[in-house]
Structure 1
Amino acid sequence: MPTSTARARRRRTAFRVFTGAIAAVAISPASARDLAWPNEVDARYRLTFDGFNVGVYNFASRYAGNKYSATGKTKISALFGAFKWTGTFTGSGSVDNAGPHPASYGMTYKKGKKVTSVRMGFDPSGVKSIALSPKKPPHPDAVKVKPDNLKHVFDPISATLAISNATGSDACNRTIPVFDGKARFDLRLSFKGREAIREKHPTGQPRELLVCRVKYVPIAGHKPKDFVHPWIDYDRIEIALRAIPSVGIYVPYRVYVPSKIGPAVMTAEEIRITAANNVQIALKQ
């Protein structure tokens, strides 16, 4: 039977996977958009593990001309407060009809008294600089990250913005290249189905979710032995997207990560959108 330390480590890994999944699931540029990017998007998500509430994830993005800035903040408390994890994610760059083009990314998380951070800079070809704190060499068993692995990849936070470019035909038909500062991986999306939803507060938007299967494919920076008999089911991750036609975007509504000790789930509680014409849209569960 796993020790409490092992269980805590597994929970921490699951939370990193599904908070990362929501940010990295929609990176690939899609077809050109017909509508202008919204002025603002603010979202609050509830985090659960094996049915228990464990935390929240807040996301905010702002647009000014062709520039964007975005912030994500996560707070997790599990094992009756014995395990606490907080993280802040920031990103900036430019946007056009093809999608977001990241310029910078930062991530800082705290577990107990330990603080870890990642900083990355981008140029048009991909990652141009990486700064890790604390700085330590990769694990000797890890697959080496090569220069080619850093080309034409996207950081997790800017990926959340790229989902706005999805259309009904391509939203669940993509292979997503991701680099988070340590690991390079692909997220392979495929169509699973559609799901009707109910609204306590009608918005006039379609009451339907587009559900995508997401296969996590490690490329570099990982230890191969971790994927021989993984406790997370990397083939059955799901993300459910909701179309908001009035502003021409999709928003992530739910992320589901199955594991041998219970599913980690991120569910939207409230999403507020300010369109380019300042029209307000509020989605609430």
Structure 2
Amino acid sequence: MNFLSSRGPALFGATLAACAPLAGAAAAETMHADYRVWLIGVPIGVATANVSVAESRYKMALNVRLTGVAAWISHLRMALASSGNYQSGALTPSGYATIASNSRETRTLRMALNGGAVREIQYSPPWYDQNSPDRVPLTDASKRNVIDPLSAFLMPAPAGANPVGPAACNRRVQVFDGYTRFDVALDYVGVKEIHSRGYSGPVTVCSARYIPIAGHKPANQATQFMANNKDMNIWLAPVPHMQMVVPYRVSLMTQAGTAVIEAAELRFTP
């Protein structure tokens, strides 16, 4: 997985903060979420998400940093931002950016999109490995009908459908992160009751699958592990006042053991 790979964040979000309006509704909502990250039961990081949906625009920011022993090993910090339009319950991202740094380097990526197609990407420092013969080639077709990883967190519940139940899952999200093109497939598992700061009530449990499409290295061990990983799930909480759901909990098996991302607080403001 490359330094700025958003495979993890995208699973955390198509799998971390999902929102979409009722079709045709002029509504507004903001969300603040504090998440805690564990690996094999040990706390290793925190993530903070802020989302605003108003009129026909949405904006989202996600900040991630390691804590405790993990921070001693790698001073990794990531900041992601995305914005775009929504209409009739559909999201159309227009801009996406990431910055990631550790004790050795800082990398940035900026991507412009229009109508579901990638128009421009800027890498700093340059990405010299993109034309490696070991990679499945990225074509123009693989950069169309996609959303960025942060917008992949924004999953609308169909208009008129109950946002708790099968309608919250049962979808395949097409993602391009600037490096690789992949899908995240969600399927309905069941409903649970949870109690947390800011929200207590039912959540929908979905299973998740990572499906590599292009830009990846098929022989890469991490890619193979994730593609064959059947131990991933996400719990989605409904957002008051709007036809949307947000991730409350994400659990996935990694090569180092089970990782869990769970909300310590979900706060909604209409």
TM-score (normalised: structure 1): 0.81
Aligned partner of 1:39 among 29, 52, 75:
29
- Note the C-alpha offset of 1:229: 8.4
Q: Are 2:59 and 1:65 aligned?
A: no
SS state at 2:155 partner: helix
Instruction: Spell out the pairing of 1:1-285 with structure 2 (5 A cutoff).
Output: 17-25=7-15, 32-33=22-23, 36-77=26-67, 78-79=69-70, 81-135=72-126, 136-138=128-130, 139-163=132-156, 167=163, 168-199=165-196, 207-226=201-220, 230-232=224-226, 234-275=229-270
- Contact conserved, 1:72 with 1:88, CA < 8 A, in 2? yes
SS in structure 1 opposite 2:43? strand
Relative distance call for 1:94 and 1:261 in structure 2 (3 A) is same
Moved more, 171-180 or 245-254: 245-254
Give the whole-Å Cα distance in 1 for the aligned partners of 2:198 and 2:97.
36
Distance 1:175 1:83, change over 3 A: same
Helix, strand or coil at the partner of 1:60? strand
Cα 1:27–1:170 shift into 2, 3 Å: farther
Question: Residue 236 of structure 2 contacts residue 246 of structure 2 at CA under 8 Å; is this kept in 1?
Answer: yes
Distance change >3 Å, CA 29–CA 110, structure 1 → 2: closer
Distance, in Å, in 1 between the alignment partners of 2:71 and 2:16 is 34
Q: Partner of 1:53: helix, strand, or coil? A: strand
CA distance in 1 between partners of 2:20 and 2:51 (Å):
19
Contact residue 182 and residue 210 of structure 2 kept, 8 A = yes
Q: From the superposition, tell whether residues 98 and 111 of structure 1 become closer, same or farther in structure 2 (CA, over 3 Å).
A: same
Runs of 5+ in structure 1 lacking a partner? Answer: 1-8, 276-285
Amino acid paired to 1:273? F
**2:19 and 2:246 in contact (8 A); partners too:** no
Rounded to whole Å, the distance in 1 between the matches of 2:70 and 2:114 is: 42
Change (3 A) 1:172 1:202: closer
The size of the alignment, in residue pairs, is: 262
> 2:71, 2:129 → 1: CA distance?
34
Once residues 18 and 244 of structure 2 are traced to their aligned partners in structure 1, the CA distance between those partners, rounded to angstroms, is 14
Cα RMSD for the two superposed structures: 3.0
The CA distance in 2 between the partners of 1:37 and 1:76, in whole Å, is: 35
- For normalisation by structure 2, the TM-score amounts to 0.85
Indicate conservation of the 8 Å contact 1:163/1:251, yes or no: no
| 2:83/2:95 contact within 8 Å kept | yes
